[in-house]
Every structure is written in C-alpha cells, then in structure tokens.
A and B are shown apart, each in its own frame.
Chain A
Amino acid sequence: MNKASLQLRDGSQTNLKVSPRRGHFCLVLRTVPILGIVFLFFLSGCKQEPRVYIKHFKNKDYQLRVDGRPYIVKGICYSPIPSGKNHEYDWWSDPRKPWLVDGKLMQEMGINTIRLYQAHEDMEKVKTVVGDLYEKYGIRTILGSWLGFWEYPCPFYGDKKFRERVKQEVVDMVNSLKGEPGILLWVLGNENNYSCLGHVNPWSSEEIDREPDPQKQKALRAEVYYSFVNEIAEELHRIDPNHPVALGNGELVGLEYANKFAQKVDLVACIIYRGRTFGNLFRSLRATFDKPVLISEFGADCYDAYAKKEDQNMQAFFLESQWRQIYENLAGNKRGMGNCLGGTMFEWTDEWWKHNPDNPAGWSEHDTASNWTNGSYYYDIKVEGNKNMNEEWFGIVALSPGRAGELDIRSPRKAYYVIREFWKKPDLNNKKKKVKTK
C-alpha cells in the first residue's frame, strides 16, 4: 500500500491511502482536499468554545446569538436551598447533586438557562454544576457576582483597594470558567445601584461627604459605582471575548448614570417586580440606556396573603403575563421594542429560610408571613398592612421534606406547566381570560 502525503491549509500534513487504480487515485486527490477542509472546519468547530454575542440589527433590535443561532433566554433563578437550611448552606458540595434532579425537570419544562447570583469559591465545584447541567440537559448558566455587596461591613466602592480586590475576584472567576461551554454570560452586581441612593448598604467617600447637596452626593456615588462596573466589563472583554457582560440593576434606577459611565457593558440585567406587566420598561430603556435587556429577576409568589392559602393560579397568571411581554419585546416583534433577550424568572424552588434568616427554627417551616408589599400583585393586596409578598413562596416548584438523607421532594406548581405550554407555542394574544383565582 503506497502512501502520499497532503499539505493542508493549516500547514499540517495528512497521509492518504493510495489506491493502485489510477482513476480512483485522481478522484481521491481531487476530493480529499475539500473533504479535508470540511473535516478541519468541523474539527475546529468542535474545539471552539461556544461563542455568545449580541447581534445588533439595523432596525436597532437586539438578539442574543449562541453559536451563531438566535437564543431566547428561557431561564430561572436557581438557589436550591433545602428546607431546614439557610443561604449559607453549601449546596454545591451536596453529594446528592440536587442540580441533576432539577436539571431534568427544567429540561422537561423547556428551561434553557439558569441564573446563579454568585459562584462558589471552589471553581472546580462550579465547573461540575455548570458542566453537568450543560452536558446532561443542554442548560446554560448565567453567572453573577455580588461585587462585594453583601460583605460586612458595607461595600466600599469609594475605596480603591476594595474595588481592586473585587475586580480581581471577578477576573479570576472568569478566567477559571470562560472555557466552560455551559457558560452563557456574566452579570456584574444585582441591585447594588440602590446603595447609591443610600436605600440599602449605604457607602460614601471623603469626596462624597464633602458635597453638601444630597442629589449631587447620589450622582457622585452613581459615577463611582457605574465607572467601576465599566472598568470590570472592559477587562472581561479583554480576557474573555466570547461572553457578553451584563450590568445587574434594580429596576431602571440610576441607568441615566450608567448611560454616562458604563457603556462597556453589553446588556443590562434588570430586577423587575411590576405585577402582570413590565409597564413601559422596554421603551424607557431605549430613552435612558439603550442596551439589550435581560429581565434577570421577576415573578410572583403563590401564596394569597389575604385568603391565607396557596394560590397557584395567581402565580401562573402573573408569570404567563410577564413572559408574554418578554416575547412581545424580542427582536423582530413589531408589537414591542425589540430590545429584550429573554428572562430568568424568580425562582426554581421555594426557599424556606427567607422570612426570618436568623431563626434556624424557622428554616424548617414554610412560613406564610409576608415580608413586603407590592400593589401590582393586586389579588391579595387587601391583606392587613398590605404586606402581600410572601418571600418563601416564589418557587415554581414546591418543596416538601424528603425522607432522611434524601433530597426534598420537588412538586411542580401550575406555573411550571403554564409556562411550559407558553414556550411551546407562545401566544401573544393578551385578550385571554384571566386565570381564575381563589
């Protein structure tokens, strides 16, 4: 058997088996280069990391692309804290791997993305979770960073050393995980913008303290914070050109400053609780901070605080209405603004620790007390004190304690099925009957 070698485009060589029959040899010689190129293209395609980017259309619509194909984020916020534990529980290290049970249920529903607010400090564990979900169920991960927001004492965005340390942590995280094919994009911060108003985790600096006008103080804080996010985004683009970087933001508060100081982010990931609609959010963004938007936290609880009973219909009604608006504002839909990339609803499973995080006894109780009020979830707003939002009841999957040593039992709620059907056949007709409640 004779052998011939063929120089390929990339400079490498490959050996060909040569047929003793000349005609065949010529055919092979003509065909092999083409096949080789195709083969190499395929090969290189296999090796290449999935590239995620946002396509900007001429009509100013925005669309997320993954491996060159449109990708609607049909996502869920994921924090699988079991009953009896609180937010400090290390579910990443759970040998029962709850994400495998959840991933299967998610896949059956049609979820293609989870959102994690913060990575575990052990990047190998993160790789395991991200890899398992992607390889077994095709579910990608949006990974965030709190940007030090929940450290104690308060975040010091005015302090250069603090900023440098937080930035390095994010850079390290991205360097560790950017090669994971299951990563979809990065989110910087969550509702950190509220700290600029002093509403939560207030912080300052000498320069800010010298300013007597509180409005100017707010503007100075916003400049510091959004410039910091911008700086990180710029660095992440340098080290990882394959994944977009989002600015996490509570509502649209402060985005007029982001427009000035955070242009390097690729999109904004907004936390929105406005009941059955997002109002004019999509239009308003066009005017204030014209970036693609991911609704990175939204949803509804399923406990009627007024009737004092679970109401799965109420949750399903709000969620379906919210998803309808998200779809109306995807690229190419003339009814909307074309600037939405999808959403990650809040949340997968209930979290039983939330009503009173400091009381371990309460972590094993599914508390029905309400923590806050929001009139746009109007079915139960008449409850005494108007506290109608039940923080422990936002899961689209209910938990009930499993047998000793076993995971909590997962029971999908009505919203799980309603949204599953909506995704299968998105019906944007808003004139459907309201879901009957109570």
Chain B
Amino acid sequence: MKKLVAILAVLALAIPVLASAQTDTTQKEFVVYSNKNARNNHYIPSGWMGDTGDIKMNDQSADNPKDGATAIQFIYSAKKTQGQGWAGVYWQNPANNWGNKKGGFDLTGMDKLTFWARGAKGGEVLQKVMVGGIKGTYPDTATVEVGPIELTENWKQYTVNLAGLDLSYINGGFGWATTSDLNPDGATFYIDDIKFEVDPTLKPEGKKQEAMPFYIYSDRSTPRNHFIPSGWMGDYGDIKYDGASKEDPYLGDSCIKIIYNGQRAQGSGWVGIFWQNPANNWGTVDAGFDLSKATKLTFWARGAKGGERIEEFKVGGIMGEFSDSDSVVIGPVLLDKEWKQYSIDLKGKDMSYIIGGFCWAANVDNNPEGATFYLDEIKFE
C-alpha cells in the first residue's frame, strides 16, 4: 500500500510537469512570471548575463507592485563588475537553460507578450527586452528584440508583437538587457505580470520605416542611440573604445573616443568597428532597421593631432544569411584637429534592411604610430 501511495505521489508531481511542456491551445494567456512562487509561473529569472555582479534582484518587492502582493525589483549598479558594460536577465525553463537541455514550451497560438514596468525615478533605460533568442543545442524557434525603452515613474504596460512567428519552442520566455552607457548612474526598476497572450487582432509586424533623424550615437546615455559598436575587426586588440568620452564633445555631454595603437595585436595590420543590430550580428540574425527614409548619414569627427587617416567610413555592407540591403563607402579621410562634419550620400541606395549602421576602418600603413580620434552625432537624416 505504501508503495502504491508513493507511485501515486510521484505521478501526481510528474504529470503537471509533463503537461507543461505544451501549452493548452485553448487558453488565452500563458504566464511567464506573476509573483514569487506563484503556481502559474512557467519561467525562472535565472539567466544572468554580462556584468552579473552589477545586478541585484528582489523577487518579492512589496514596493508598489502592479498586481498582487509583489513585483520584481532590479537594481543595476552599472559598475561594470565583470568589465562588460552591460547586464541582463533571461527568464528560462528550466532554470539556467542556455539551450543545453530540452525544456521550454510550445507557445503556438500566442500572439504577443505583455509586461508591466516602471523605473524608481523615471528615465531608466532598458536597452532591449527579448523573447526567445537562446541558441545552443536546443535553440528557441523565434528571436524578438524590442528597445530601447525609457521607463516612466509610473507603471506602464509594454507589448511585444509575436504574431506570425514560430513559437513552437521557447526556452527564453522573456529577458531584459541594458548598458552602463545608457544608465551611467545605474538604474532601479520593477517588472510585473509578464505573460504571453492570444490576440487575433494582431498582424505580423513588418519592419516599419524608421522616422528621421535616426541616431546611431547622440550621447552616451540616451535611448535615442541605435546599433551597438560590437563588430570589432582586424587587430581588435589594438583598439580602445570609450563611448562616454568627455573630451570636448561636439554636442551634448559626451562623444566617442577611439584609440588605435597600431601594434598589430592580431597581425592583421588594420582595424575597424561595425555598429550592429543586434550586437555581434554578422548577418546571422534577421534584425536591423528599415532606414528607407534616410537620404544621408552624417557624423562629426576629429583627430587628436590632425592628419589621422581613416580608410573608410561605411553604411551597410555586412554580408551573411541576412545581408544589408546596400553598402555605401566614403574615404580615405584625413581628419582635422577640429570637429568637421562628414556626410555619406544615401540617395538612390536601398536602406530598407540595415544591420550594419555604421563602420570605420583604418590601417597601420597609413597610421604607423596609431591614431586617436573622436566621433559624435552619428545619425541618419
């Protein structure tokens, strides 16, 4: 009898777990996370990324929750504890599943993900929120990123359109990421009621044509920035990048400072940086922006000494499974010591699909002692 009870007990525990592997297609919503220990939580905020030491999480914050008794509070210190300059958290199933084990859920039938968020003060910036996108042996079937999002002091609901996407295997139910550049003094924010929902009125989201001006870099901590300077090329060990330089910015409180030491760290003799969307996208991810309305890209540049030679400045040109729709290059350019505006003419070019928003490249042959230069106000117009 004891043995029978034990078997029943095991079955009673196991059946709900097994059943959770596929969603009930008749249900209208599927909760990612509502409150700590809530029975309908399906994902765990276990996937800490980047400067994990910069994150503190209180998953039972009673400080003005949106719904129920608690919300999740995140405190991001922006101290770059691991030297990354960014941090984020993924809600995973099971916990800590970076695609190395089978888990996740079949969310076919869901059309959107909604969540509520607020900042402690207002003005905190999430670089992006994600649904899916975890790779590995068992990769998610969809990847959606939305952002940047500037939070308000009051609770606000946000929606991620998932209509038309393959949601048959989603292990990364939700995630957020942000950077120290966007939040130089850190950020405290709250998230609540994250869930997938059915919404038959939603249509698959095509790429919308972005309004102009469309900034790549305005100032270090503004959500207006797009693209990430993640594509370091050639002798990447020769580069130091400071996206928050205070050294005589052209406009605002900061500019980009790049130091290229010409040491041939990787033996290439040249270097460059691509601003990409998302970070490190060499054409492997279907993302980017529709910048069809742009007729030019302008930026300001100056050299520390004057005479620094940049072989090319470029828009687009990343080639991969999802290639940029066009490529436009200017250069070589000899920089002045004073700020000077440069323009890349985009008239007649196809800017409908751009993952590589901006790029520069230089070489040691023309900069034998390296080069220090500054960039500011990089934008499509």
Contacts and interface: CB of A to CB of B under 8 A. Distances in A.
A70 B348 CA distance: 30
B101 interface: no
A280 B350 contact: yes
Contacts of B325: 279-280
B62 interface: no
Interface in A11-63: none
Interface string A147-159: 0000000000000
Nearest to A199: B311
A237 interface: no
B323 A277 contact: yes
A375 B319 contact: yes
A376 interface: yes
A91 B158 CA distance: 68
Interface in B338-370: 347-350
Contacts of B284: 378
Contacts of A2: none
Given A215-B331, A378-B284, A274 B323 contact: yes
A375 B283 contact: yes
Nearest to A287: B348
**B interface bracket (residues with beta carbon within 8 Å of A):** 20 to 34
A214 interface: yes
Contact of B319 (A213, A284, A374): A374
Contacts of A288: 348
Chain B CB within 10 Å, residue with most, of A275, A279, A288? A279
Interface in B309-352: 309, 318-321, 323-326, 330-334, 347-350
Nearest to A213: B334
Interface in A210-229: 212-215, 218
Given A287-B348, A288-B348, A376 B334 contact: no
A381 interface: yes
B236 to A, nearest CB: 13
A218 B332 contact: yes
Interface in B252-290: 282-284
Contacts of B331: 214-215
Contact of A284 (B309, B326, B330): B326
A280 B282 CA distance: 18
Which label, helix, strand, loop or mixed, suits the secondary structure of the A interface? loop
Contacts of B319: 274-275, 374-376
A335 interface: no
A301 to B, nearest CB: 15
Interface string A277-304: 1011001100110000000000000000
Nearest to A253: B329
A376 B283 contact: yes
A214 B283 contact: no
Interface in A330-385: 374-376, 378, 381
A286 to B, nearest CB: 8
Contacts of A212: 334
A376 B333 contact: no
Nearest to B284: A378
Nearest to B322: A378
B323 A279 contact: yes
Contacts of A280: 325-326, 349-350
A378 B318 CA distance: 12
Contacts of A218: 332
B320 A214 contact: no
B136 to A, nearest CB: 14
B320 A376 contact: yes
Contacts of B282: 375, 381
A284 B350 contact: yes
Nearest to B319: A376
Given A214-B309, A283-B350, A376 B330 contact: no
Given A214-B309, A215-B333, A284-B326, A378 B350 contact: no
Contacts of A279: 323-326, 350
B320 A378 contact: yes
B75 to A, nearest CB: 37
Given A375-B282, A375-B283, A378-B320, A214 B332 contact: yes
A284 B321 CA distance: 20
Contacts of A378: 283-284, 320-321
Interface of B: 282-284, 309, 318-321, 323-326, 330-334, 347-350
17 contacts: A214-B309, A215-B331, A274-B323, A275-B323, A279-B325, A279-B326, A280-B325, A280-B326, A280-B350, A287-B347, A287-B348, A375-B283, A375-B318, A376-B283, A376-B320, A378-B321, A381-B320
Given A279-B325, A375-B282, 9 more contacts: A212-B334, A215-B331, A275-B319, A275-B321, A279-B326, A287-B348, A376-B323, A378-B320, A381-B282
